[in-house]
Structure 1
C-alpha cells in the first residue's frame, strides 16, 4: 500500500511492553452516495491470503449500509465495491445496518450487525456460504421494553444498577414510548462451537454477556429469553473495572482461539471531561468456559491518539471490530472517529504474554 503511514506507539502495562503499531488509515469516505459521510467499524475475515472487509458505510441522514472491500494480505487494497453488498430490507433495519462482525462456523459465515429502525438498535444476523449472497435471519436478541427487562432481571440476583440507567435516562428525558426496546448491540460469535453449542457475546450496557444456543435463531424463542433474563447475572462475562472503562464496555472483534484461551479485543468507554472516549482493550477468556475471565489488561491496548482518531463525526473513538492473523502479527481493523477505517497491529505472542503475566488482572 503506497503512502500508507506506519506509526508506532508503545503501550506499557506495568512492567511489560506491548508494542502496538498504528498502521494508519485504510479506507475513507468517497464521492459515492452510499458512503459519502463515512466508512468505519468493519467486519474482517481472512480467507487464504485475502482479508474480506464488510464495513459500515454512511450517507447523509445517518443511513447505513454495508460496503465491501477485499485486501491482498493485511493492508493492500485489491478490490472495493462501488455499491453496498447489503442494504436494509426490513422494518427492523429501516434506518440502517451498522457495525458488522463476521466469523466462519462449520463452513457457514455468520455476519452480525446492529439493525436500526430510527428508535431501536438491536443485534441481527445474516448468513452466507460464499461471502457474496447473504440470507437475513432477523433480530437475534430479546425484543423487550425497559420495564419488562427490569422486572425480569430483578427477580434474580442483584446486578449493577447501571443496567437500568438507560431506562431512567429515557424516562427523565420524556423519551419513553410504546415501541422502544432495550438496546442490545455488539453481537460477536465465537468462531467454533463450544461444547456443541453456538456461542455469542452481546452487550446490554454496561457489561458484556454471553449466549449459548443449539441453533441460531431457532433456539432463541421468547421463552428462552425470559429464562435467560431471569438468571441474567449468570450470563455476564465482563463488567467495567478500570478508569478507561468507567462508562461501559462492549465486545469488539470475534474471539480468537489460542492455546492460552480466547483472546478478546473489546472496547472500553471512558467518561472524560470532554465526553466519551473509546479505547481498544484486551482480555483472555477460558477456552472451555468463556464465561470465566482469566485476565484483562489494566490499561488500554491503544487509544485515540492522532487527529484522525480524535476528530470526526464522533470524536475520540477507536472501535475495534475485526482482526486478521498473519504469522504472529495480529492486524486489528477499527473505526476511527466514526469516519474512517484504520489498522493497528501487534505481536500476538507478546500480547498473550502480557495477559498471562502476574500483573494482569483476573
Structure 2
C-alpha cells in the first residue's frame, strides 16, 4: 500500500473580505520553477471567487493577491465561482470552474495568455432540466438509479468538475466532467462545438461516455474528477476523488487510476485503496467534515505534489514519488 506524505497546510483563510470564511480546492500549474496557484476563496455567506498566489517552489508562497483574480460578473455565476482547475494548451491557459447561480451548478471556462488576465467564455456544459437529461439518457440504455438519487433534488442538471487534459489528443480537446455518480469524458475539435445539440446527442449515448464508475468501498457512493491528468510513459495518471457514506456522513478521499495515452476511455489500472484519506484535525473537522479533495498537481523531478482542499476550509499539500505510484498502479491492472 502506498500513501502520500502530508506536508501540512499551505494556505488558510485571511481577514480579507473575499476569503474570510475559507480557502479550498486550488488549481495549480507549473511555470518554470514556480507554481501558479488559483484557489476557491469563500467569504461569509458562502459566496465564492477565485484567488491567486504564486509559489516560488511547490511549498513556498511568494506572492498572494489581496483581491480575487476572478469574481461573479454574470447571472450564471451570480452566487459564486467554485473549484477551479487549470491546464496550458498551445500557449493558452484554460481555467475551468463551477459557476453557481443559486439553482444550477455548471462548469464554465476562462482563458488567458499570461495566466493573470482571463477572458470568460461562459458555461460549456449542458443547461437543461434534469427531467430532459433523464429522458435522453434513458433512450438507448437503462440509467443507473444513482443518477436519480443524486440529482433529482434540483430541477436543473448539475454538471461539475470539468478538467481538461493538458494537451490535445489526436487533434481534439479532451475533458472530464462529472454528473453524479460517474465521471464522463468529452472529446471535441473546438470548444465552439459544445452546443445544445451536441449535448443532446451526447446524453442520448451517455453510456458510451462514462469513463470511471465506483468500484471499491472507499468510492462506492460516487466519484468525481480531481486534478488534470498527468502524462506519464505508462499512461494518463488520474488523481480523482472518491466518496463513501458512513454513519457519520460522507467521507471524501483521494484516489489514483491510469488510462491509455491515445484512447483515454481505456482504463489500464486502478488502485483498490485510496492514497489520501482524512486523518489530521484539519481534514476531519472543518466547514465540511472528513474531506480530502484533490484538485491540482505539479511534478518536480520524480515528486508529484498534490494540492487538496481539507475540511472545505484550508488548502494542504501532499507528496508522493511518481515512479513508486506508477509501479504500484501497474500492479493492479483492470
> TM-score band (shorter)?
over 0.9
Match of 1:267 in 2: 241
Q: Deviations over 1:166-206 (max 9, x none)?
A: 344x2xxxxx5xxx411000000000101110000000000
The CA distance in 2 between the partners of 1:111 and 1:295, in whole Å, is 28
Find out whether 1:256 has 2:230 as its counterpart. Answer: yes
Which of the residues 15, 18, 23 maps onto 1:39?
Answer: 23
Find out whether 1:349 has 2:312 as its counterpart. Answer: no
How far is the alpha carbon of 1:159 from its aligned partner? 3.4
How far is the alpha carbon of 1:158 from its aligned partner? 2.3
How far is the alpha carbon of 1:84 from its aligned partner? 0.5
Q: Given that residues 3 and 275 in structure 2 are in contact (C-alpha distance below 8 angstroms), is that contact kept between their aligned partners in structure 1?
A: no
Which of the residues 302, 307, 311 maps onto 1:337?
Answer: 311
Which of the residues 157, 169, 173 maps onto 1:194?
Answer: 169
Q: Given that residues 228 and 295 in structure 2 are in contact (C-alpha distance below 8 angstroms), is that contact kept between their aligned partners in structure 1?
A: yes
The CA distance in 1 between the partners of 2:142 and 2:231, in whole Å, is 32
Q: Deviations over 1:327-348 (max 9, x none)?
A: 0000000000000010000000
Which of the residues 307, 320, 326 maps onto 2:281?
Answer: 307
The CA distance in 2 between the partners of 1:82 and 1:206, in whole Å, is 37
Match of 2:92 in 1: 108
Match of 1:173 in 2: none
Match of 2:11 in 1: 27
Which of the residues 310, 326, 330 maps onto 2:300?
Answer: 326
Which of the residues 109, 114, 119 maps onto 1:135?
Answer: 119
The CA distance in 1 between the partners of 2:106 and 2:90, in whole Å, is 25
TM-score by length of 2: 0.98
Size of the aligned set, in residue pairs, is 334
Which of the residues 110, 114, 117 maps onto 2:101?
Answer: 117
The CA distance in 2 between the partners of 1:157 and 1:41, in whole Å, is 35
Find out whether 1:53 has 2:37 as its counterpart. Answer: yes
The CA distance in 2 between the partners of 1:19 and 1:243, in whole Å, is 17
Match of 2:156 in 1: 181
Alignment of 1:214-253 (within 5 A): 214-216=189-191, 218-253=192-227
How far is the alpha carbon of 1:223 from its aligned partner? 1.0
TM-score by length of 1: 0.91
The CA distance in 1 between the partners of 2:261 and 2:16, in whole Å, is 43
Residue ranges of structure 1 left out of the alignment (5+ in a row)? 1-11, 13-17, 171-175
The CA distance in 1 between the partners of 2:306 and 2:312, in whole Å, is 16
The CA distance in 2 between the partners of 1:66 and 1:235, in whole Å, is 30
How far is the alpha carbon of 1:361 from its aligned partner? 4.6
Find out whether 1:294 has 2:302 as its counterpart. Answer: no
2:263 aligns to what SS in structure 1? coil
Residue ranges of structure 2 left out of the alignment (5+ in a row)? none
Match of 1:3 in 2: none
1:301 aligns to what SS in structure 2? coil
Distance change in 2, residues 1:19/1:276 (3 Å): closer
CA-atom RMSD in angstroms = 0.9
Q: Given that residues 19 and 347 in structure 1 are in contact (C-alpha distance below 8 angstroms), is that contact kept between their aligned partners in structure 2?
A: no
The CA distance in 2 between the partners of 1:293 and 1:204, in whole Å, is 19
How far is the alpha carbon of 1:320 from its aligned partner? 0.3
Q: Given that residues 50 and 68 in structure 2 are in contact (C-alpha distance below 8 angstroms), is that contact kept between their aligned partners in structure 1?
A: yes
Q: Given that residues 298 and 361 in structure 1 are in contact (C-alpha distance below 8 angstroms), is that contact kept between their aligned partners in structure 2?
A: no
